């Protein structure tokens, strides 16, 4: 979805004015940091995902934007205005809560109308707007129901309609699809993108689900222990992670500790003891001789063959385990020194050559540009 033709990649333009800014934001809870020195710029019409494990600080960051928590240090800006001290009820931001937080004593209609009533809009106008929103989330027939008479998916849509009602400048979504089952979740993801594009609103989504982040996001901010460790487009995050943490957190990866043995004008040769071999890199990488680096390579970027390979990057091993996952299979290959490499192969034919290759001796090969070198 990140390749939508409508999308303007504002973050690539150094002149572009950020719409939302966190400037040096730190948040302590009882002296314990939840968010540490986060600097982040989000641009208009982005669908930005904050991705991280539990306790990584992603929800706290979102709550500081909504106004439920205030930063211990730093400031938060929306559309060029410092809103750090503005109370939540005056911020041009609305949130869709993880638990949906629908008012149990109100009907669907009253839930959606709640924010509009606070603005003191005339009744007819409120009714019109609510009808429009219920149409958008396909719940027009349920206006008179109470939340406890709805299914999980319906509640989620009411929560979305309620959060959209006031046409906020920014919509915050805290684990919006967490409670939905897989099929419904995929449908809803696409629907969210559609709504976001048609309304031209800025969405910020907090999630722990990397697949969800990859599907939704124009850009992803990966958080770990309160730090924002990498902010990039999904493709960049996956193919060019900036640290072993990000590489390991997003998708699967094989990480090898290496030492630089040669540096021929940027073309490095690495010695990887775990691989009992040297790695020649095609891409120029910064690194001094004797420096310790990590070589990271995704399982799908390695190939399996039975013939002894003469390729530059080739290793011999024994198939330890095979996991058949339907669309692809994962192979764990034990190298002679005991190090285990993970390789994935798409199941292009119904009976793959390696489908029953337990215990067989195989060769692993990969291209010089398949992996990334990480210094931290």
Partner 1 sequence: MRLVAKLKSLQRDWVSWVPTLWLGVFFLIPFLVVLKISLSQATIAMPPYLPLFDWVESALEIRLDFGNYLFLIDDPLYGAAYLESVRIAFVSTVITLLIGYPMAYMIATAREPRRTLLLLLVILPFWTSFLLRVYAWIAILKTNGLLNGLLMSLGLISEPLVILQTDLAVYIGIAYTYLPFMVLPLYASLSKLDRTLLEASEDLGATPWISFVTVTLPLTIPGVIAGSLLVFVPAIGEFVIPALLGGNDTLMIGKVLWNEFFANRDWPIASAVAIIMLFVIVGPLMWLNRINSKTEEATS
Q: What is the smallest separation between the CB atom of 218 and partner 1, expressed in angstroms? A: 24
Q: How far apart are CA 191 and CA 137, in angstroms?
A: 9
Nearer to partner 1, 101 or 180 (CB): 101
Q: What is the smallest separation between the CB atom of 343 and partner 1, expressed in angstroms? A: 44
Determine contact, residues 202/175, Cβ cutoff 8 Å. Answer: no
Q: How far apart are CA 303 and CA 311, in angstroms?
A: 11
* Residues in contact with partner 1, shown as a per-residue x/- string from 146 to 175 under the rule CB under 8 A: x-x-------------x--xx---------
Q: What is the smallest separation between the CB atom of 66 and partner 1, expressed in angstroms? A: 6
Rule CB under 8 A: say whether 184 interacts with partner 1: no
Q: Which of 117, 331, 376 is nearest to 241 (CA)?
A: 376
Nearer to partner 1, 116 or 296 (CB): 116
Nearer to partner 1, 88 or 180 (CB): 88
Q: What is the smallest separation between the CB atom of 104 and partner 1, expressed in angstroms? A: 5
Q: How far apart are CA 58 and CA 54, in angstroms?
A: 8
Tokens standing for residue 271: 């010695």
Q: What is the smallest separation between the CB atom of 323 and partner 1, expressed in angstroms? A: 39
Phi and psi of 131, rounded to 5°? Answer: -60, -40
Q: What is the DSSP letter of 140?
A: G
What is the separation, in whole angstroms, between the first and last Cα of the chain? 30
Q: How far apart are CA 182 and CA 186, in angstroms?
A: 6
Determine contact, residues 263/290, Cβ cutoff 8 Å. Answer: no
User: What distance lies between CA 142 and its chain's CA centroid?
Assistant: 33
Q: How far apart are CA 375 and CA 122, in angstroms?
A: 60
Nearer to partner 1, 166 or 298 (CB): 166
Q: How far apart are CA 309 and CA 12, in angstroms?
A: 42
User: What distance lies between CA 219 and its chain's CA centroid?
Assistant: 8
Determine contact, residues 329/347, Cβ cutoff 8 Å. Answer: yes
Nearer to partner 1, 155 or 219 (CB): 155
Q: How many CB atoms lie within 10 A of CB 252?
A: 13
Using CB under 8 A as the binding rule, the residues of this chain from 60 to 119 that contact partner 1 are 66-68, 87-90, 93-95, 97, 99, 101-105, 114-115, 118-119
Which residues, in sequence order, are CB contacts of 36 under 8 Å at separation 6+? 26, 57, 225, 226, 227
Q: Which residues pair with 228 in a beta bridge?
A: 223
Nearer to partner 1, 167 or 306 (CB): 167
Rg for the chain, CA atoms, rounded? 25
Q: What is the smallest separation between the CB atom of 222 and partner 1, expressed in angstroms? A: 26
* Residues in contact with partner 1, shown as a per-residue x/- string from 270 to 309 under the rule CB under 8 A: ----------------------------------------
Using CB under 8 A as the binding rule, the residues of this chain from 342 to 371 that contact partner 1 are none
Q: What is the smallest separation between the CB atom of 184 and partner 1, expressed in angstroms? A: 22
Nearer to partner 1, 95 or 357 (CB): 95
Nearer to partner 1, 68 or 324 (CB): 68
User: What distance lies between CA 208 and its chain's CA centroid?
Assistant: 7
Q: What is the smallest separation between the CB atom of 24 and partner 1, expressed in angstroms? A: 25
What number of chain residues touch partner 1 (CB under 8 A)? 26
Nearer to partner 1, 66 or 374 (CB): 66
Q: What is the smallest separation between the CB atom of 175 and partner 1, expressed in angstroms? A: 13
Residues engaged in binding partner 1 (CB under 8 A): 66-68, 87-90, 93-95, 97, 99, 101-105, 114-115, 118-119, 146, 148, 162, 165-166
């Amino acid at each position: 979805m990140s390749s939508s033709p409508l999308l303007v990649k504002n973050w690539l333009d150094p002149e572009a004015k950020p719409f939302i800014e966190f400037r040096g934001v730190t948040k302590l809870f009882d002296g314990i940091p939840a968010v540490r020195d986060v600097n982040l710029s989000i641009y208009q019409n982005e669908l930005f995902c904050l991705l991280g494990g539990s306790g990584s600080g992603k929800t706290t960051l979102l709550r500081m934007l909504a106004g439920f928590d205030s930063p211990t240090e730093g400031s938060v800006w929306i559309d060029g205005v410092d809103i750090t001290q503005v109370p939540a009820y005056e911020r041009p931001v609305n949130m869709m809560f993880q638990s949906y937080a629908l008012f149990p004593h109100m009907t669907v209609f009253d839930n959606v109308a709640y924010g509009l009533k606070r603005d003191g809009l005339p009744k007819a106008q409120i009714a019109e707007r609510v009808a429009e929103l219920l149409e958008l989330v396909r719940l027009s027939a349920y206006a008179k129901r109470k939340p406890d008479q709805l299914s999980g998916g319906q509640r989620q849509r009411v929560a979305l309609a309620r959060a959209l009602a006031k046409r906020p400048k920014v919509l915050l979504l805290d684990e919006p699809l967490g409670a939905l089952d897989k099929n419904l979740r995929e449908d809803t993801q696409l629907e969210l993108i559609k709504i976001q594009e048609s309304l031209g609103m800025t969405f910020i989504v907090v999630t722990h689900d990397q697949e969800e982040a990859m599907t939704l996001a124009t850009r992803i901010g990966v958080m770990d222990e309160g730090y924002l460790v990498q902010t990039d487009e999904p493709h960049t995050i996956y193919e060019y992670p900036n640290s072993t943490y990000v590489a390991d957190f997003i998708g699967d990866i094989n990480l090898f500790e290496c030492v630089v043995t040669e540096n021929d004008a940027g073309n490095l040769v690495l010695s990887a003891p775990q691989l009992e071999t040297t790695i020649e890199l095609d891409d120029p990488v910064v690194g001094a001789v004797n420096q310790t680096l990590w070589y990271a390579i995704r399982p799908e970027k390695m190939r399996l063959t039975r013939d002894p390979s003469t390729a530059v990057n080739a290793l011999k091993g024994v198939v330890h385990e095979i996991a058949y996952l339907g669309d692809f299979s994962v192979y764990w290959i034990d190298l002679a020194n005991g190090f285990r490499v993970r390789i994935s192969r798409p199941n292009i034919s119904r009976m793959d050559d390696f489908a029953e290759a337990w215990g067989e001796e195989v060769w692993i090969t990969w291209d010089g540009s398949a992996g990334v070198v990480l210094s931290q």
